[in-house]
Amino acid sequence: MIKRLFILLAGTILLSVFLSACSRTVDTRQYVEMFGVVFTNEASDVVNELFAFPSSTDGTDVFEQDMGPDIIKNTRDQRRLGSFGVTLEVVTTSYNVIARDRDRGIYLFRDTPLTNACEAILTFESGNLVMTIHHRNGTADTMIGQLVYEGDAPAHTHNPMRREVPIHFAIYNLTGEIITFVSMREAADPDKGEVHLFEGTLDADSSASVDIKLYEEDEEITAWIIYIETDDGSSMISGESFNPWETDDLDLSKSGGALSINAR
Whether 116 and 188 map to the same domain: the answer is no
Do 39 and 75 share a structural domain?
Answer: yes
Q: Can you name the residues that pair with 99 across neighbouring β-strands?
A: 50, 107
* Structural domain boundaries enclosing 246: 164-263
Compute φ and ψ for 7, nearest 5 degrees. Answer: -65, -40
Q: Which residues contact 61 (CB under 8 A, 6 or more apart)?
A: 158
- Boundary residue ending a domain (149, 175, 194): 149
Task: Say how far apart CA 195 and CA 225 lie, in whole Å.
Answer: 11
Beta bridge mates, 181 = 229
155 part of a folded domain: no
Q: Which helix or strand (DSSP H or E) is residue 225 part of?
A: strand 224-230
Residue 24's pLDDT is 42
Q: Considering the domain boundaries, does residue 159 fall inside one?
A: no
Indicate the pTM of the whole model. Answer: 0.50
Q: Is residue 130 in some structural domain?
A: yes
- pLDDT of the chain, 264 residues: tens digit per residue: 444 434 444 444 444 444 444 444 455 555 667 888 888 888 766 677 788 888 887 777 777 777 777 777 654 444 456 677 788 878 777 899 988 876 777 889 999 999 889 999 988 888 788 999 999 999 999 999 998 877 655 443 333 445 667 899 999 999 999 999 998 888 988 776 678 888 889 999 999 999 887 777 678 889 999 999 999 989 999 999 999 999 999 999 998 889 999 999
